[in-house]
A and B are shown apart, each in its own frame.
Chain A
């Protein structure tokens, strides 16, 4: 397998501009002759489907939710970065590029990241034009706040609901195209296979989740914008329905999977309370602008927070990283929290928690200012925990939040299967080994609004394809595989629920492939996961039938895929014998406990190629070159 990144030559500032000129165009009158499938309707998918339809392509868009407005992009709270430099504090496209490459611990492509930083300014313009109600100053201009890993204020926000407002902007643009008849929308449809004919992606097989019917949809190109795979950990900040099925089926049809072990553990989530827990809730990183993180200095100090005097508190982020303080990047803040809890200084009933304290900020600014900035987050916290964060400090702990890994794509967002494009969190491209806060929304919208509309045209204009008949043997074969799998899941009638398998897999992954990983632990996971998978296929109990809504069947199918993907994640984590960003191998750390990269051997993207059932996948390498941001150990001290 050849990994051709297709990054254009020339100076970094000119790459995208030159590439836009070099790409082929489709005549406006011919665009309506081309059909494109978009799977997913979040920021990347919704924006991409709308933007392509605006150009004139015939678009079919699919989502598993009951409406495209529900995609999990909606839950992003804090904000979106853009190099507008509206605050006059020294920001620039180059600085955003620099911060992102460094934040990703030098494991992302410079060319892609520069383009992302460049497009960030267009995104804000586009969203404002759509009527996204960003926060404003009294003079009527846009407000900004700071996020982790940056020393400038470049984050735009709409209270604590930025993802919601951006998604609704994309959703409204998409609905407009649906109303105009340019997009055909298929909600409550789940993609279960990819159709590849003559080496090109030509369609998908979906299950109508209401009727249970297996349907095929054919097109000239396929785009996946199906999000990340963090639900492999069972407890995560993802929506319950988020799954890896679409990208996993594409992987099994030949799309390389890049850096599967790069997962982001977000430092500020509400801690776990018990076994019944079904998900974890994030508290936006923006809270770290005004909240101070601390634990007691003394081990096993069980006093209530306000009984611990100032001198006996350890504001450990401020102590360890004086220049970034509470705004240290996510991977660093998460590991620091784990370390203090492992030392026995954690707070709350379980001891797996640290304080995020607004006492000083409330004293300085008053309750009403804090309420205006974070009111809805405080309310959400109180709703879940029964504690009022205006009076007692929040308790937080790290949780799985994002996956930087995903399907490998080139500069045009095309996977190793020609015609299959991958957008947003589902691809691997721009964040390296750690994503900075407020960058996921930026990447999703850049891919959807400003990259795919160009690169899809280039692909279509430079590819000559026959029309495919639905009776094509490959189509029939893919349909049969899907139907057979549904039948098999319904026929096992074992003793354990799909959720119990999911929970057990999550426990294995969190312990062995979570915030800290070891050679021995990963090897153990590689024994445990196949055993659990085997048990799943013998003992899972999926009740009901396949002819109407069956949520157990949907879940079982997703868990079956997680049980395979988990193994690949552990394999990738085992092979990457270095620490970088969110991938922390205990064997590779500096004397003060920071991630220690091995640029000599691992300054590359690892892309895995499926080799058949029960066979070890092949690991391919795309070397990374750093011409602008020089390889150094990251320092936030």
Chain B
């Protein structure tokens, strides 16, 4: 099949970008979307032009590195799929595709289709963990966890941190990403001691990174390649509210020593 691509090209973070049109010829339906871009790039290099820069790594839908907006949809037309797993059989001969980077204030474009998503790392660093220093763990079977809780935690933990939720959201909110981690850890006994501290710190960092707020559009859930449900956002909100009601709790005598 033959396609026409309108691709966002931008030299670096400081230089304004623009759309450039390229033909993609003799595309096989067995190619992945990124392999189609590889072929276009080989042609560009052959013509002495700079190839289109895009982030990618594992190419099996799990590392979360890749991600572009295709005709307005993050990761393209197929549900629950990253662009590296999107195959060209999802398109038709003669299609015109507009390919853009994630658009969000907190994700500045650094070249062509590549954005800086380090804000996500800082949200995790603010509290998205269990403080369990290496070496002091009890036997793994000493705390039974109901299968249902483990399964729900796993659903939330499946987030790959690609950023499609932010790109899909009209407010460029990072609520689904943040809520997925809050939910994963809040469902497990290991996550309880820091549960309310965690949610407060992660939300504060999310705001500091200038992500927008959630106004229940549910676009994030539709775009998520791992189908993280927005129930996680409800759980985050509940924990955030409780954290506020609990307030700051301080021992009178400066702690247990």
Contacts and interface: CB of A to CB of B under 8 A. Distances in A.
B130 interface: yes
Interface string A269-308: 0000110111101100000000000000000000000000
Contacts of A507: none
Contacts of B173: none
B147 A66 contact: no
Interface in A233-275: 237, 239-241, 273-274
Contacts of B85: 380, 383-384
A226 to B, nearest CB: 14
A161 B62 contact: yes
Given A239-B58, A384-B87, A67 B53 contact: no
Contacts of A175: 121, 124-125, 128-129
A273 B11 CA distance: 34
B28 A276 contact: yes
Contacts of A273: 30
Interface string B15-52: 00000000000001011101110110010111011110
Given A175-B124, A278-B35, A133 B154 contact: yes
A165 interface: yes
A136 B30 contact: no
B140 A142 contact: yes
B38 A278 contact: yes
B59 A239 contact: yes
A125 B137 contact: yes
B28 A274 contact: yes
B235 to A, nearest CB: 15
Contacts of B57: 65, 70, 72, 239-241
A278 B84 CA distance: 11
A274 B30 contact: yes
Nearest to A179: B125
B157 A72 contact: no
A509 interface: no
Nearest to B148: A138
Nearest to A156: B140
Contacts of B101: none
Give the most central of A66, A84, A165: most B CB within 10 Å: A66
A79 interface: no
Contacts of B184: 131, 133
A541 B118 CA distance: 32
Interface string B184-204: 110010110000000000000
A171 interface: yes
Contact of A497 (B42, B114, B153): B42
Interface string B130-171: 111111111111011111001001100110110000000000
Contacts of B125: 175-176, 178-179
Contacts of A277: 35
Nearest to A171: B124
Q: Which 8 A-B pairs have the closest CB atoms?
A: A140-B144, A179-B125, A129-B137, A172-B129, A125-B137, A129-B132, A175-B125, A133-B154
30 contacts: A66-B55, A67-B120, A69-B64, A70-B65, A74-B63, A75-B62, A86-B141, A125-B138, A125-B140, A126-B135, A128-B190, A131-B190, A133-B154, A133-B188, A136-B146, A137-B147, A140-B144, A164-B160, A172-B130, A173-B132, A176-B131, A273-B30, A274-B30, A274-B31, A279-B60, A281-B60, A383-B61, A497-B45, A541-B46, A543-B50
Given A128-B143, A240-B58, 8 more contacts: A51-B134, A67-B118, A127-B140, A136-B147, A158-B154, A273-B30, A278-B32, A449-B134
